[in-house]
Amino acid sequence: EAGVTQFPSHSVIEKGQTVTLRCDPISGHDNLYWYRRVMGKEIKFLLHFVKESKQDESGMPNNRFLAERTGGTYSTLKVQPAELEDSGVYFCASSQETAWAQETQYFGPGTRLLVL
Amino acid sequence: GDSVTQMEGPVTLSEEAFLTINCTYTATGYPSLFWYVQYPGEGLQLLLKATKADDKGSNKGFEATYRKETTSFHLEKGSVQVSDSAVYFCALSPLGSNTGKLIFGQGTTLQVKP
């Protein structure tokens, strides 16, 4: 069974440009999460999809970030326009459980974003 | 709000040494607690978890006990190997939340030397 995959693995862009990150969860997993780790600090939650619906987007930093999950399969996270402080590693995770507080989330390898 | 605090790294040990990575948390009620590990070039993997007080999670020789009296979930291993070199993250999932979001500590880098 394939794990969670993310594309691209690395992205270097200039301030003001747009970047779109993609996450393909494990097949059959309804829950999809985005997280971000900035500069060696803690990993922070961004949002949670259940199928195509946003269950919780309380961690999205501002309206420059837009996440979608059309059809409840893969998800994209767009940053437009990118700022220097957006640099970091963006992780995607998926799970199939409904007992959210006890579930195991399966993480992708992350996308390393550098904004210059 | 809920939070997790881990001991700062990096932690450097010789092979076969005893490992402890401290983790304490602040949360309402009794959250579920997790240790995730990130090996070089890979994504995070669940190492172990405990969902209620006094539970002990264990996997690959690692153990952690959910201590509600000290709000701690310290990770231990009796004899580390070079292959254990990785970044270790302590995390919690809030009880009664309408989401499964994880709240992470800042991560502790472990380097084991032969």
pLDDT class of B61 with cuts at 50, 70, 90: very high
Q: What is the dihedral of CA A84, A87, A93, A99, to 10 degrees?
A: -60
Res. B30: pLDDT tops 90: no
When CB atoms are compared, the residue of A41, A56, A91 closest to B101 is: A56
Q: Which pLDDT value is given to residue A99? A: 67
- Which 52-81 residues of chain B touch chain A by CB within 8 A? none
The pLDDT, as a whole number, for residue A1 is 66
What's the maximum distance between 2 C-alpha atoms anywhere in chain B?
45
Q: Does A3 touch chain B (CB under 8 A)?
A: yes
Joined together, the tokens standing for residue A51 give: 């199928």
More confident residue, A113 or B8: A113
Best mutation target among B101, B106, B108 (most A Cβ atoms within 10 Å) is: B101
- Kindly write down the DSSP assignment for every residue of A54-101, as one continuous string: EEE-TT--STTEEEE-GGGS-EEEEESS--GGG-EEEEEEEE--S-GG
pLDDT by residue, tens only, chain A of 116 residues? 689 999 999 999 999 999 999 999 999 999 999 999 998 788 999 999 999 999 999 999 999 999 999 888 999 999 999 999 999 999 999 998 766 667 889 999 999 999 99
